Amino acid sequence: MTTRYELIIGLEVHVQLLTRTKLFCGCSTRFGAPPNTQTCPVCVGMPGVLPVMNRRAFELALKTAVALRCQIAPFTKWDRKQYYYPDLPKGYQISQYDLPFSSDGCLEISDPKGRFERKRVGIIRVHLEEDAGKSMHDEAHGRADSRIDLNRAGVPLLEIVSQPDMRSPLEAKAYLTELKLLLSYLGVSDCNMQEGSLRVDANVNLHVYTPDGHLVPTPIVEIKNMNSFRAVERALAYEAERQFKVWQETGQRLGDVPKQTRGWDDVANITRPQRHKEESSDYRYFPDPDLVPVIVSEAEVEAVRQSLGELPAEMRNRLEVAYNISPYDSDVLVNQGQALVAYFEQVAQQCGDGKLASNWIQQDVLRTLKERTIGIDEYPVSAQRLAELLRAVRAGRVDTMRGREVLARMLDTGRTVDETMAELGIAQLDEAQLMALCKELVAENPKLVADVRAGKLQAAGAFVGQAKRKNPNVNPARVRELVLELIQGQSEG
């Protein structure tokens, strides 16, 4: 029996905003400080203290939502999400419930390798909330010596909820990659998954197409604990198979069983059911009376729109047109971030050849960055110097192969193009030397001369090859010109 199914994926992403201070108090948000050293009465939830909204966090959130083409609510409020947990000192989390500050946006994803069709992933909502603290405990074993670190409590988090618009682990990964890229272009988050500044949960189910032509949705499962994009991909692939097996065994449809939560085990490569959090079914949301609603005007939204700068999608298009590079190339460059694109543009403009700049950066620069695990800002060869080298290549002062040698050496020595070429003995032959060499070649190769005369122009290429063997520094184009001139001169004489 052949039953087809489609994987339906929605992602819920939490990103920590790059503010200096927390969402409702003045404590630092720096990662890695000793436990409970970045706390104050407000984020510890002491009696009588009051939250005051961090305007900067709201601005960053607004920026993100506008970049995700969301509708911005003119009026938004704060709600309390209530549950008891030791890392939640107030007994509630300040979040946004029924009136998030933004909704109905989208993010376009595509695959330069063409493995899926370009598509728009809908964004249901983006809202701002405070993070909880961190518990390190062993509640299950009857011990009461849990430890709590509240440094993270109150750190601003943006929750970005997508529509269930993704159909494969690959699409999910592309969405996350594009989202992360957008956030880093906007400068709103560092998206560091190890430090918890980007967290992903997935809602997954199947649309099973039965042989009799019906579409059956299976129960939705929430997957947590995915600590890398790679883990997301693997967890989703695993879940697709698992859920299909469950469907075949039980025939359970959406609505037959309550929503299940499963955790990804990165070592065992499986998902496992997770215990439900106490009272998770009813958070008793209600508007936080300690905070005033936030009013956002059209003008403010417009100002944010103006301040966004160039976003990845626009940048890809512009690079393609301005530098005449392929969509694949612009994708690779843009995905490396703004600093690399700026580097590329400088090189391309100064050497006058976008395609050449793109090739060299993709093949040589990116390899070095990867090998050395450094960023473009730490790359030892400046854009000016690389452009200089590429100009030399274009002018035929050095060919591509030797040019690579020059670049490799410049990486280690930090010297200029001319110095390095001199060191490597790459000096251009002057016109007289080149003429002498060409005369020699013409004299030595009567057969080739005859071929050229007979109109076999590819024979001129053989002269170039021989010239290079005699002296690697010859300018191939000039050799070709001179040889042809000499042969023609001979026939006239």
Partner 1 sequence: MSLVELGATALLAELEAGRVSSVEAVRAYLERIDRYDGEIGAFLRVDRDGALAKAEEVDRRRRAGQAVGRLGGLPVAVKDILCARGELTTCGSRMLANFRPPYDATVVSRLQAADAVLIGRTNLDEFAMGGSTENSAFQKTRNPWDLERIPGGSSGGAAACVAADMAPLSIGTDTGGSIRQPAALCGITGLKPTYGRVSRFGLVAFASSLDQVGPLARDAQDTALLLEVIAGHDPRDSTSVDRPVPPYHQLVRQPLKGLSIGLVREHYAAGLEPEVEAAVREAARVFQSLGATVKEVSMPHSKYGVAAYYIIAPSEASSNLARYDGVHYGYRTDEQAMLAELAAEQALYQSAGTSAAEPDSPLVRLYRRTRSEGFGPEVKRRIMLGTYALSAGYYDAYYLKALKVRRLIRQDFDQAFAQVDMVAGPVTTAPAFKLGEKVNDPLAMYLVDLYTVSANLSGIAGLAFPCGFSRGLPIGLQLQGPPFAEERLLAACYMYQQVTDWHLRRPSLS
Q: Counting contacts by CB under 8 A, is residue 144 touching partner 1?
A: yes
Which CB, 52 or 216, lies closer to Zn ion? 52
Q: Please identify which residue in 292, 443, 450, 477 interacts with partner 1, judged by CB under 8 A.
A: 292
Q: Counting contacts by CB under 8 A, is residue 455 touching partner 1?
A: no
Residues lying near Zn ion in the complex (CB under 5 A): 25, 27, 40, 42-43
Interacting positions 223-282 with partner 1 (CB under 8 A)? 278, 281-282
Of partner 1, Zn ion, none, which one does residue 27 interact with (CB within 5 to 8 Å by kind)?
Zn ion
Of partner 1, Zn ion, none, which one does residue 142 interact with (CB within 5 to 8 Å by kind)?
partner 1
Which CB, 75 or 286, lies closer to partner 1? 286
Stretch that binds partner 1, among 61-69, 123-131, 287-295, 395-403 (CB under 8 A): 287-295
Interacting positions 30-89 with partner 1 (CB under 8 A)? 41, 44-53, 80, 82, 84, 86, 89
Q: Please identify which residue in 146, 192, 210, 248 interacts with partner 1, judged by CB under 8 A.
A: 146
Of Zn ion, partner 1, none, which one does residue 290 interact with (CB within 5 to 8 Å by kind)?
partner 1
Of partner 1, Zn ion, none, which one does residue 48 interact with (CB within 5 to 8 Å by kind)?
partner 1
Q: Counting contacts by CB under 8 A, is residue 132 touching partner 1?
A: no
In the 3-class helix/strand/coil scheme, how is the chain assigned residue by residue? CCCEEEEEEEEEEEEECCCCECCCCCCECCCCCCCCCCCCCCCCCCCCCCCCCCHHHHHHHHHHHHHCCCEECCEECCEEEECCCCCCCCCEEEECCCCCCEEEEEEEECCCCCCCCCEEEEEEEEEEEECCCEEECCHHHCCCCCEEECCCCCCEEEEEEECCCECCHHHHHHHHHHHHHHHHHHCCCCCCCCCCCEEEEEEEEEEEECCCCCEEECCCEEEEEECCHHHHHHHHHHHHHHHHHHHHHHCCCCCCCCCEEEEEECCCCEEEECCCCCCCCCCCCEECCCCCCEECCHHHHHHHHHHCCCCHHHHHHHHHHHHCCCHHHHHHHHHCCHHHHHHHHHHHHHHCCHHHHHHHHHHHHHHHHHHHCCCHHHCCCCHHHHHHHHHHHHCCCCCHHHHHHHHHHHHHHCCCHHHHHHHCCCCCCCHHHHHHHHHHHHHHCHHHHHHHHCCCCHHHHHHHHHHHHHCCCCCHHHHHHHHHHHHHHHHHC
Of partner 1, Zn ion, none, which one does residue 323 interact with (CB within 5 to 8 Å by kind)?
none
Which CB, 52 or 308, lies closer to partner 1? 52
Q: Work out how close the CB of 43 gets to Zn ion at its nearest, in angstroms, rounded to a whole number.
A: 3
Q: Work out how close the CB of 168 gets to partner 1 at its nearest, in angstroms, rounded to a whole number.
A: 35
Q: Work out how close the CB of 44 gets to Zn ion at its nearest, in angstroms, rounded to a whole number.
A: 7
Interacting positions 360-399 with partner 1 (CB under 8 A)? none
Residues that bind partner 1 (CB under 8 A): 41, 44-53, 80, 82, 84, 86, 89-92, 139-140, 142-144, 146, 148, 278, 281-282, 284-286, 289-292
